[in-house]
Amino acid sequence: MYGVVGLGVLGVAFLAVRAVDPAGRVRSLAESFSGVGDGLGLEVQQVILEGRRNTPTDMIRAALGVSRGDPMLEFSPEAARSRIETIAWVQHAHVERRLPGTILVRIDERRPFAIWQNNGQFVIIDREGKVVAADGLDQFGPLPLLVGTGADTSGPALYDLLRAQPEVNERVQAMVRIHERRWNLRLHTGTDVLLPEGAEAAAIQRLAELQREARLLDRPLAAIDLRLPDRLVLRPTRQAEPAEQPAQQATRARRG
């Protein structure tokens, strides 16, 4: 209790000197103030971390840049906060000193939203398209798959449209961005659904109605083209040629 009171008196003295001589002796007073803190035994004893789920602790430790026994008054919470917020997983951070020897770190992490495949690379992104991880992708559970340049930032809007139509959403394997203009839906069956540029909501609603009425998404189709508002174009899968009957083979052999 005495140490805290003593620090309060020194703080008042610091402000008084700054008012009288703002450009001269303030720095030397600050240095002596830090030294007094060391003499009072104000050293880092523990770091309390709150809000961490996916952020590697070694990254947080390195960003803090403090060890047990370091002088508390030489530690800058603001500088530590800035460094912590450069970590990909961290969206916001709060750092404070709690005398006599505790540093509190509270972080708000970015949430994994989707797997983004681009140029042969797979990464985890949040809803803003921020890359948060490039390893251990399977540890985050099932996530939507976005493919192509621009899919990282425009994907959330399409995903929200799909979630409103469960009959369609549960059959979608990947959302593929085409030339950064429009979308294809790759279904688990291998079918590609071609969506119109700028009219995705109406097309997905139409697709859901076709699924309810005709089970369209369960048919063996290579593609479903919805790009034209007044027509639906279906491309069937290429069927294998029927096997030649033994009798036909024998006749052909005799003719030969």
Q: Extract the runs of DSSP E, i.e. beta strands, from 157-227.
A: 172-178, 182-187, 192-194, 221-225
CATH superfamily placement of domain 2-109: membrane protein fhac (3.10.20.310)
0.75 exceeded by the pTM?
no
How do the domains of the chain map onto residue ranges? 2-109, 114-236
Using the CB atoms, write b or e for 151-161: b if 16+ within 10 Å: bbbbbbebbeb
Q: Say whether 7 sits in a helix, a strand or coil.
A: helix
Predicted local distance difference test score (pLDDT) of residue 237? 86
Q: What is the pLDDT along the chain (256 residues), one digit of tens a residue?
A: 233 323 333 333 333 334 444 444 444 433 444 444 454 569 999 999 999 999 999 999 999 999 999 999 999 999 999 999 999 999 999 999 999 999 999 999 999 999 999 999 999 999 999 999 998 888 888 999 999 999 999 999 999 999 999 999 999 999 999 999 999 999 999 999 999 999 999 999 999 999 999 999 999 999 999 999 889 999 998 753 444 444 344 334 334 4
pLDDT for the residue 166: 97
DSSP secondary structure, 95-117, as one string: EEEETTTEEEEEEEEPPP-EEEE
Q: How is domain 114-236 classified at the CATH fold level?
A: Rossmann fold (3.40.50)
> Which pLDDT score is estimated for 41?
63
**182, exposed or middle or buried, with CB in 10 Å at 0-12, 13-18, 19+?**
middle
Bridge partners of 125, per DSSP, are 114, 131
